[in-house]
Chains A and B, each alone.
Chain A
Amino acid sequence: MIAYISVIMKGITVTLGAWLLTSCASLLIGTLLGIISCRYLGSAKLISIIRMYTFVAKGIPAYVQILIAYFIVPALLGVNIPAFAAACGALAFCSSGYTTEIMRAGINAIPRGQWDACATLGYPLSAQLKRIILPQAFKTIAPALGGELEQLLKSTSLLATIGITELTRTGMNIISRELNPVPVYLTIAGLYLVFSAMLGAVLMYSERRFLYGQR
Chain B
Amino acid sequence: MVNVKNLTVSINNQTILNDVSCSLLPGRITCFIGKSGAGKTTLLKALVDLVYITEGEIVINNTQLNSLSYSKRSEEIGYVFQDFNLFSNLTVLQNCMDPLRVHGLNVNDAKKRALDTLEQLGMKDYRDKYPSELSGGQQQRVAIARSLCLNPRVLLLDEPTASLDPINTAQLVTILRALRANKLIIGISSQDMNFVKKIFDRVYYIEQGKIVELCDGIEYVNQCKAIQQFIHE
Contacts and interface: CB of A to CB of B under 8 A. Distances in A.
Interface string B84-124: 01111110000000110011000000000000000000000
A122 B132 contact: no
Contacts of A111: 85
A125 to B, nearest CB: 10
Interface stretch (B27-35, B70-78, B198-206, B214-222): B70-78
A123 B150 CA distance: 12
Contact of A135 (B75, B77, B79, B89): B89
Given A119-B49, A132-B87, A124 B132 contact: no
A117 B80 CA distance: 9
B85 A116 contact: yes
Given A116-B85, A213-B88, A121 B150 contact: yes
Contacts of B150: 121-122
Main secondary structure of the interface of B (DSSP, over half): mixed
Interface residues of A, number: 22
A213 B89 CA distance: 8
Given A122-B99, A123-B102, A136-B89, A113 B81 contact: yes
Contact of B74 (A122, A131, A139): A122
A120 interface: yes
Contact of B75 (A113, A122, A127): A122
Contacts of B98: 131-132
B83 interface: yes
Contacts of B50: 116, 119-120
A117 B70 contact: no
Interface residues of B, number: 31
Contacts of A113: 81, 83, 85
Given A113-B81, A212-B130, A132 B89 contact: yes
Nearest to A124: B70
A127 B150 CA distance: 17
A114 B85 contact: yes
B103 A117 contact: no
Nearest to A122: B74
A136 B130 CA distance: 13
Central interface residue in B70, B83, B150, by most chain A CB within 10 Å: B70
A139 B49 CA distance: 30
Given A122-B102, A122-B103, A131-B102, A117 B73 contact: no
Contacts of B79: 120
8 contacts: A117-B86, A120-B74, A122-B70, A122-B150, A124-B70, A124-B102, A213-B131, A213-B133
Interface of B: 48-50, 70-75, 77-79, 81, 83, 85-90, 98-99, 102-103, 130-133, 146-147, 150
